[in-house]
Amino acid sequence: MKRIEEQTHYEILEVSPDADLKEIQRAYDHARETFHADSLAIYSLFSEEEMRKIQAAIEEAYRVLMDEALRKSYNQSHSHLIERSSREKQAEKSVKSSEIKSSLSFTDLSIEVGEITYRGRSLKQIRERLGIDLKAISAETKINIKTLELIEEEDLEHLPAMVYLKGFLKAYARALNLDAQKLIDGYFQLFKEKGKK
């Protein structure tokens, strides 16, 4: 039982202190979706003021943990709190990860993280935050770099039609461990806005 102000950035995002950037990104997406004004899961629970506090804490945790230098100095200045909470977590961790794994395999329906859609620019941002080179994405997805750049720049003029593009978007999103449907949805919107099919 810790108030929001007393929780570490790791506790705010519900990740372990050794979480990698992909995990933090996912946790952040989940937290934003959960503590969003229209979120069903928080209905009747929090006041507006509490929500603002939580949202600010989530943004701050994300900002710090996604930045290597900031995270390092945060870890140092909060080492006492972080070590203790990671020891507390240790016991439940094995249980928890198996719980998550089996919940992912409930049925063929896959778990996804809410409503936010991604577009080219947000993709680029996330990739850069994760410190992944476009070349690495290209190697993993077998999509040439030029096409990946066009996707990030949202250059609809030079990109192939949506039917062909879909496969690329899917592969790229997967490489970043993001929900592919959100990227496809985001791109659909983009095409709609630009009046192109």
Partner 1 sequence: MTRDHHQRVIWTIGGGKGGSGKSFITTNIGICLSKLGARVILIDADLGGANLHTFLGILPPGPSLSDFIKKRVSHLKDVLIHTGVPNLQLLTGAQDLLNAADAKSAQKRKLLRSIKSLESDYILVDLGGGNALSVLDFFLMSDGGILVVTPEPTSIENTYRFLKSAFYRRLRQAVSSFSAKSLIDEAMDRKNEAGIRTPYELLREVRRINEEDALKMVEEAATFHPNLILNQVRSKKDIEIGFSIRSACQKYFGIQLHYLGYIVYDQDVGNSIRKRRPLVLENYRSKAAQCVSEIASRLANSHRMPSGN
Q: Please calculate the CA angle 101-107-113 and round it to the nearest 5 degrees.
A: 65
Q: How far is the CB of 184 from partner 1 (least distance, A)?
A: 14
103 contributes a contact to partner 1 by CB under 8 A: yes
Does 109 help bind partner 1 (rule: CB under 8 A)? yes
Among 26, 39, 166, 171, binds partner 1 (CB under 8 A): 39
DSSP for 4-15 reads GGGS-HHHHHT-
The two three-digit tokens of residue 1, written as one number: 């039982």
Instruction: By CB under 8 A, tell whether 2 contacts partner 1.
Output: yes
Closest among 141, 158, 156 to 189, alpha carbons compared: 156
Q: Which of 20, 68, 99, 133 binds partner 1 (CB under 8 A)?
A: 99
Asked if residue 92 binds partner 1 (CB under 8 A), the reply is yes
- Binding pattern for the stretch 40-79 against partner 1, x by CB under 8 A and - elsewhere: xxxxxxxx--x---x-------------------------
Angle 63-140-196 from CA coordinates, rounded to 5°: 75
34 near partner 1, judged by CB under 8 A: yes
Report in angstroms how near the CB of residue 12 gets to partner 1 at its nearest: 9
Distances (CA, A) of 153 to 74, 141, 159, 165: 33, 18, 10, 14
Taking the complex as a whole, the smallest distance from the CB of residue 108 to partner 1 amounts, in Å, to 10
Q: Which residue in 61, 56, 62, 53 sits closest to 130, CA to CA?
A: 62
Distance, in Å, from the CA atom of 53 to the CA atom of 171, rounded to the nearest integer, reads: 36
CB of 41 to partner 1, least distance (A): 3
**Contacts with 121 (C-beta within 8 Å, 6 or more apart), sequence order:** 152, 153, 154
Q: What part of residues 126-185 is at the interface with partner 1 (CB under 8 A)?
A: none
Task: Give me the residues that bind partner 1 (CB under 8 A), please.
Answer: 1-4, 14, 30-31, 33-35, 39-47, 50, 54, 92, 99, 102-103, 106-107, 109-115
